[in-house]
Structure 1
Amino acid sequence: MGESTAPVPAPRSSPETPLPTGRELLPVACWLAEADLNPGKVWAAWEKHGVALLPLGRRFDAIRVSAEQVHEVVGSDEAETVARVLRAWLEGPVFRDFRSSLGPYYVLIAPDADWDGPAERLTTGTYLGVPRPGHSTMLSRWVVLPPHPGALCDTRYLRTLLASTDSLRTVDGW
C-alpha cells in the first residue's frame, strides 16, 4: 500500500470553542427550519415532539456514521469525549439518533459537497428527523450544535477522521 502525498487535515478548532446558547441558537433553528418550504410545520413539530422531519438536499445533506465507527475513531463512547473530538475535527453540526443503543450519528454537510467516504450519504428525496437546537429528546440529541446559520461540516475532515479508524486497525492488527 502506497503512502499518500496529500496533506492530512488536522483538527480545526480548540476543544474550548464556545458553544452557542439561548438567543444564539434562534438564528440556527430558523435556518434549519427553512430547509422545509413550510418552516411553521417544523416549529410545530419541534414544539410537540422535539424532533422535526426535514427534507435533505436543499440546505444540507447528511452522512450517517455508525456509532461503532465514531466510538472507535474517538477511542471512547463517553458523550463529552465524543462531542469534544467531533467539535474539534468537524466544527459543524452533528447529532445522534438514540432510538437504539447503537444509534448512528448524522453529520450535516453541504448538498453540493463531494463525498466518497465509507459512510452513507443521505440527500434529496430523504427526510431526516432533526432535533431542535438546544433541546434533547429521547429520540435524538445534538452532539455538536451548528455554531451559526449555514455552518456545515467539511467532508475532507470527516473523511480523514473516519479513515483513521482503518489506519488504526491496520497498525493494531484488528
Structure 2
Amino acid sequence: MDSSTCSAHRRAVCNWLARTHPLPEQAHAEWAHHGLALLPLGRRFDAIRIPAGRMRGVVGSAEPDTVAKVLAEWLHGPVLRDTRYSEAPYYALVPPGTPWPDTEQHLGADAYLGVPRPDGVTPLAAWVVPPQHPGHLCDPARLRTLLATADSPTAAET
C-alpha cells in the first residue's frame, strides 16, 4: 500500500513517519488496516512518556481542546496520546538521542510506539498536536520547562 492512505495535505508527514520503519510500505499498510503503525524509535524521533495526571497538573485541565491548545503553544511540536483509558499517557516526540534525566520515561532506540496516521484517530491512540511537517518535533528544553510547572505551587493549586 502506498501513501495514498493519507490525505493530500499530510502525505509528506505520513511518508516521513513511515520511513522510520525499516519497511515503510508496512507502516502505510498498518495505517490503512488499523489506523495505527508500530514504529521503531531512536531513528527519526524518540518519545517522552508523560502520565495523564502529570499532564493535568501541567495544563490545569483534562479537557482535550485545552490540553491541545496549551501543548501546541508551549511545545511547538507533536504529541500523541494513548486513548484506551482516561489515565492513559501522552507521548511528546523529541529528537533522537535527546538526553532526558527527568522523571518521565524516555523511549528511544530498541523501543516501539503505536503512532496513528497524522490525519486519523483510532480507538488506541490519537494526535493531541499532530506533526505539521516532516521533522517537526518538540523542543526538549521547552518540554522540561513546561513539565517543571507541574511541580510549582501554582500548578499544584489548580
TM-score w.r.t. the length of structure 1 is 0.83
Q: Post-superposition shift, 1:170?
A: 8.4
Residue equivalent to 2:66 = 81
Residue equivalent to 2:24 = 39
Q: Post-superposition shift, 1:51?
A: 0.5
**CA displacement 1:42-92 (0-9 Å, x = unmatched):** 000001110010000011100000011111110110000000000000011
The answer to whether 1:71 aligns with 2:38 is no
Report the secondary structure of 2:39's partner residue: strand
The answer to whether 1:102 aligns with 2:87 is yes
On the 8 A contact 1:118/1:162 being kept in 2, the answer is no
Which residue of 108, 115, 118 corresponds with 1:133? 118
Please give the residue correspondences for 1:8-27 in structure 2 after superposition, counting only pairs within 5 Å: 22-27=7-12
**Which residues of structure 2 form unaligned runs of 5+?**
1-5
Residue equivalent to 1:6 = none
Which residue of 94, 109, 129 corresponds with 1:144? 129
TM-score w.r.t. the length of structure 2 is 0.91
CA distance in 2, matches of 1:54, 1:119: 20
CA distance in 2, matches of 1:158, 1:34: 25
Aligned length: 153
CA distance in 2, matches of 1:171, 1:75: 9
CA distance in 2, matches of 1:170, 1:87: 19
CA distance in 2, matches of 1:170, 1:131: 30
CA distance in 2, matches of 1:98, 1:170: 24
Report the secondary structure of 1:89's partner residue: helix
**CA displacement 1:88-119 (0-9 Å, x = unmatched):** 00011100001222110000001132322221
Residue equivalent to 1:153 = 138
| Higher relative helix content | 2
Residue equivalent to 1:17 = none
136-145 or 23-32: which moved more? 23-32
Change beyond 3 A, Cα 1:121–1:142: same
**Which residues of structure 1 form unaligned runs of 5+?**
1-20
Letter of the structure 2 residue corresponding to residue 60 of structure 1: F
Provide the identity percentage.
Answer: 50
Larger radius of gyration: 1
